[in-house]
Amino acid sequence: MHNEPTRALIVVDVQNDFCPGGALAVSHGDEVVAPLNKLITEFLERGEPVFKSRDWHPQVTKHFAKYGGTWPIHCVQNTPGAEFHPSLIDDPRIQVVSKGLGDKDCYSAFDETDLEQQLREEHVDEVWVGGLATDYCVKNTVLDARKKGFEVKAVSEAMRAVNLNPGDDEQALAEMRKAGAEIVE
């Protein structure tokens, strides 16, 4: 008997601060919204689970350069910069996963969240991943999903990179591929 995989979609950190005009803008970050909306619609129509992760930092955290970390202040809880991009589909069936609540750099949607447990409860074996940014939270979410044994489809047209160093995007895709993720358009 042929069994289709049980799929889930993980939309990573499509928040105002990661989009043009935001505090930690990813260039062309807003271009992920259209392809992700298509996927969200398709998954919801098929009754498949959809998760949105969000970077959800306290005002003071060692994640920020000001307190010893790497990044400008971004995605502070309950500020406009932390809101999802206004054009990203909102639906009560979508489950929100908040990460980065403490001092640790949580680049994966699995890091200090209950995402794995939720996927297990819904018997998911394959996750589709897109969002922001390719070279941080998308990459780490994909790598963690592989470590935890999920099949992964990483949707290249639905992600954009920070590219702190040129070529970080290509390197991130290569790492995902090496970990066994399939890169799909």
Active site residues per annotation: 13, 99, 137
* Count of residues interacting with Zn ion (CB under 5 A): 1
As to burial, measured by CB atoms within 10 angstroms (0-12 exposed, 13-18 middle, 19+ buried), residue 155 is: buried
Q: Which amino acid is at 90?
A: D
Instruction: Report in angstroms how near the CB of residue 180 gets to ligand VGL at its nearest.
Output: 21
Nearest CB to Zn ion, comparing residues 56 and 150: 56
Contact between 13 and Zn ion (CB under 5 A)?
A: no
Residue 160: Cβ within 10 Å count = 25
Nearest CB to ligand VGL, comparing residues 66 and 93: 66
Q: Which residues, including other chains, have CB under 8 Å from residue 43's CB and lie 6 or more apart?
A: 7, 8, 9, 49, 50, 128
User: Which of these segments, 30-38, 77-85, 133-141, 144-152, binds ligand VGL (CB under 6 A)?
Assistant: 133-141
169 binds, among Zn ion, ligand VGL, none (CB under 5 to 8 A by kind): none
Contact 74, 91 (CB under 8 A): no
Tokens of 129: 């991943």
Farthest CA pair distance, the chain:
57
Of these, 55, 135, 144, 169, which contacts Zn ion (CB under 5 A)? 55
User: Which of these segments, 54-62, 78-86, 121-129, 143-151, binds Zn ion (CB under 5 A)?
Assistant: 54-62
Contact between 136 and ligand VGL (CB under 6 A)?
A: yes
